[in-house]
Amino acid sequence: MSKLNKKVAVITGGNSGIGFGIAKEFKKEGAVGAIVGRNQKTLDKAVAELGDDFIAIKADVTNLDDLGRVFKATYEKFGKIDVIVANAGGAVTGAAFGTVAEVGEADFDKTIDLNLKSIYFTVNKGLAYMNDGGSIVLLGSNAAHRAYPSFTLYGATKAAVIHFAKGFSNDLLGRKIRVNVISPGTTDTPVFDKFVPEEQLEAVKKYWSDVMPIGRIGQPSEIGRAAVFLASDDSAFMLGAELLVDGGLTYLQPK
Active site members:
154
Q: Which is nearer to ligand NAP, 60 or 131 (CB)?
A: 60
- Rounded to a whole number of angstroms, the minimum distance from the CB of residue 177 to ligand NAP is 20
- Rounded to a whole number of angstroms, the minimum distance from the CB of residue 214 to ligand NAP is 14
- Rounded to a whole number of angstroms, the minimum distance from the CB of residue 107 to ligand NAP is 15
Query: For residue 34, which amino acid is it?
Result: A
Cα Rg of the chain, angstroms: 17
- Rounded to a whole number of angstroms, the minimum distance from the CB of residue 167 to ligand NAP is 18
Q: Taking the CA of residue 234 as centre, how many other CA atoms within 13 Å lie in the half-sphere pointing to its CB? A: 13
Residues 136, 84 contacting (CB under 8 angstroms): yes
Longest dimension (CA), the chain: 54
Binding residues for ligand NAP, rule: CB under 6 A, are: 12-13, 15-19, 37-39, 42, 60-62, 87-91, 114, 139, 141, 184, 186-187, 189-191, 194
Residues 130, 81 contacting (CB under 8 angstroms): yes
**Given strand 54-58, what is the order of strands in its sheet?**
54-58, 32-37, 8-12, 81-86, 130-139, 178-184, 242-245
Residues 156, 192 contacting (CB under 8 angstroms): no
Q: How far is CA 142 from the centre of its chain?
A: 13
What residue is closest to ligand NAP based on CB?
17
Q: Which is nearer to ligand NAP, 133 or 153 (CB)?
A: 153
Q: Which is nearer to ligand NAP, 62 or 232 (CB)?
A: 62
Residues 242, 165 contacting (CB under 8 angstroms): yes
